[in-house]
Structure 1
């Protein structure tokens, strides 16, 4: 194989590391400065620096989950396709798909359940009291409310189930993405199993059709998961295709210095679409008119556009479009891939799943304690009417000072990555060993003549050389049944 076709895929880990940092950044913004999601603090006000296009992207969120979906599609498809391409081993490729499909649920579920249990323990000791009473409505929504111990235990076991059925986990609402990512991985496995024997051009056609199917499907979250998963599978396919890689290598200068910057600029501008109040700035209103195409003759009813078809979620569509542009830019630019392969980014990527699991709990406890105090005092619950409705607005606890908020962010970030390091060293390692233990007992030995596999198929008599002995058969010329 030529050197040009030997792909550097370390960038996958680097991109994953940046994504985990983006998740922390956007959740900190949600907790302590929600106005960063708007194009200005109020109507007719001048925007702050971080509210401007491009600069607002790390803080406004919506990027983490679609990037994880793209990476899931790429990573789940890469190894099976590599076996099929480089070694011509289609049976081995299918077996790789089977083993990956078996490993995926426990490798996601076991760590998620442990993270949920830790949050449950904290809730039993009242660790979320300050989060339940602070003036950040997003933190209050994410923090589990107080329950008596018995009911809390019942809520824990319900959360173990609903995380994977309805995506609801009151102890860690950030786990809502786990179920669609798990389903998405199996979408990739099904596509691989169905297309692995096809000719290259027809497999590519299937991946492209899958992308367009999801893009023009107005169902919930289709653009976030379906299209990004299919894009990841498509690029994993092209990463194995020698003519494609030779073409990229031959034209890498124009791809790196012309095409990639153009895609990043276009995707970044579309992806800057604000979460709310797009009418508070000219640039965001112009973007709104271009993307949603409101019809003044129909009371402003949105007609949609090629980027945001009618009936779809404009916020997720714009962020997903940015991910398409970013993914393609990385794929066609070896220079960007090398940049993403820096050892610091690789370290962040290695700890990204742990960061995703631990950061929410630490944000709602340690960070809130520093900014608001541990006790949640002084606190006076608002009076209620006879029917239980509020008789007056609730007064929420305000942060101690701006300095306390900044200190909370610094300590929270450091503690999150420290906890993620410890998680990967002990918890994730234990989960990996448990999964490997299960896999070794469920799957046959790699040797097709392994004793366990033969015995399971009914060939109980196997000699020391792994050869089937059939003492009850007199006709040795026929194969065993």
Structure 2
């Protein structure tokens, strides 16, 4: 059996992902042109419109990281048990993990939705609705006319989050449904291949990776199963011995893979024809990706795969991602993901646009004209207030992780103990079925 894989670096990578998700929503709210390779055709690009740096602001890779990590982590312990010959233990752990997965995703999401609903019904999103920002206007829900309608809308959004992947009170929770589906596909794969030889299990994981590549499911299909493959590969004794006996994969191959991955992930979301580098990538996409796909998401998935391989071959990269600071960010990543959108549309909007709403304008003839949108504050105030808001986000995430997450975990464990049979009960039942 191979030595247990150190997965601390995965938590550090998850911490990076949460920061990138915040960055992409700030960019969408206030710097939407950074999603393009240039502000206008023929103009030189801004600093964060260049390759590599734009990965930080467009932040699209953050959700992709969550998808890859889902496959990697869900498969890690079961594969370790199978490799150790403990298939019964693997069946038991997969059964409980699959059952826990549902309340551990649904309970926090429900609580975050209810909090956003309260904020909305108190009128705290009204500034975001009147702000001079397309993304804030789009993502800020309106107040309900009465309490009955408000309760109905809350129940509706709680349901559609898990049936249609849509939540009007928090658009960011659209990822919860595909992440839940991805984890269940991984658990099904693990059960189905429990008696496969190692090489064939890894081949099946890669076959499913190719299947989802051809099925236009780049983020929540390809990446989870590449995570499963990488989890299996990282625990293979022969592969570990090969890596430990050679220094060039970590010193030469790893930097090449990471740099190439960052460049590929830089593909812009809009107007790729405006710059030569992105136009070339657009032309290549017609030959390497299936028709009708979301090219930007495919390039993000491909780039992340190269980055993950680069990290896999580099002990230095794993050590960096396992630092106590990045682990702290990783510990609070789920809370940050759930809370930052509401705090952006509420507190940050108040910081940048004020708390007073302009009244409608009465024009000649007694008509009413809607007041103009609220204008954002000056540049100095913008950058001075941003760190304060980020501090508020992580402070809220800290208390969420300290109190809300443990409550969700305790509730889940109580549910598991109530629903699952005890091992001795299973053994007695099996004895009764044996022929006398």
TM-score between the two structures when normalised by the length of structure 2 = 0.94
Q: CA deviation at 1:433?
A: 0.3
CA contact (8 A) 2:362 2:369 kept: no
- Report which stretch shifted further, 255-264 or 119-128: 255-264
Q: CA deviation at 1:392?
A: 9.6
CA contact (8 A) 1:379 1:397 kept: no
Q: 1:332 to 1:152 in 2, by over 3 A?
A: same
Structure 2 residue runs without a partner (length 5+) = none
CA contact (8 A) 1:372 1:398 kept: yes
Structure 1 residue runs without a partner (length 5+) = 292-303, 384-390, 460-467, 469-477
For residue 401 of structure 1, what is the aligned residue in structure 2? 378
Query: Whole-Å Cα distance in 2 between the matches of residues 232 and 128 of structure 1?
Result: 38
Ranked by relative contact order (alpha carbons within 8 Å, sequence separation 6 or more), the top structure is: 2
SS in 2 for 1:135: coil
Q: CA deviation at 1:379?
A: 5.5
Q: Residue by residue, what CA displacement relative to the aligned partner does 1:326-376 show, whole Å, maximum 9, x if unpaired?
A: 111111222211111001111111110000000000000000100011233
CA contact (8 A) 1:378 1:397 kept: no
Q: CA deviation at 1:82?
A: 1.2
The structure where helix makes up a greater share of residues is 2
RMSD of aligned alpha carbons: 2.3
Q: Residue by residue, what CA displacement relative to the aligned partner does 1:376-408 show, whole Å, maximum 9, x if unpaired?
A: 33565999xxxxxxx999842220222332234
Please state if 1:287 is matched with 2:288.
no
Q: 1:241 to 1:29 in 2, by over 3 A?
A: same
For residue 353 of structure 1, what is the aligned residue in structure 2? 334
For residue 402 of structure 2, what is the aligned residue in structure 1? 425
For residue 296 of structure 2, what is the aligned residue in structure 1? 315
For residue 63 of structure 1, what is the aligned residue in structure 2? 61
Task: Show the 5 A alignment for 1:129-140.
Answer: 129-140=126-137
For residue 317 of structure 2, what is the aligned residue in structure 1? 336
TM-score between the two structures when normalised by the length of structure 1 = 0.85
Q: Which has the larger radius of gyration?
A: 1
Query: Whole-Å Cα distance in 2 between the matches of residues 35 and 41 of structure 1?
Result: 5
Query: Whole-Å Cα distance in 2 between the matches of residues 146 and 449 of structure 1?
Result: 54
Task: Show the 5 A alignment for 1:245-324.
Answer: 245-251=240-246, 253-291=247-285, 304-306=286-288, 308-324=289-305
Query: Whole-Å Cα distance in 2 between the matches of residues 374 and 78 of structure 1?
Result: 48
Query: Whole-Å Cα distance in 1 between the matches of residues 209 and 89 of structure 2?
Result: 27
Q: 1:398 to 1:167 in 2, by over 3 A?
A: same
Q: 1:276 to 1:419 in 2, by over 3 A?
A: same
Query: Whole-Å Cα distance in 2 between the matches of residues 245 and 141 of structure 1?
Result: 49
For residue 472 of structure 1, what is the aligned residue in structure 2? none
Q: 1:412 aligns with which of 362, 380, 389?
A: 389
- Report which stretch shifted further, 428-437 or 399-408: 399-408
Q: 1:375 aligns with which of 329, 339, 356?
A: 356
Query: Whole-Å Cα distance in 1 between the matches of residues 370 and 276 of structure 2?
Result: 34
Task: Show the 5 A alignment for 1:143-182.
Answer: 143-148=140-145, 149-182=147-180
Task: Show the 5 A alignment for 1:99-118.
Answer: 99-118=96-115
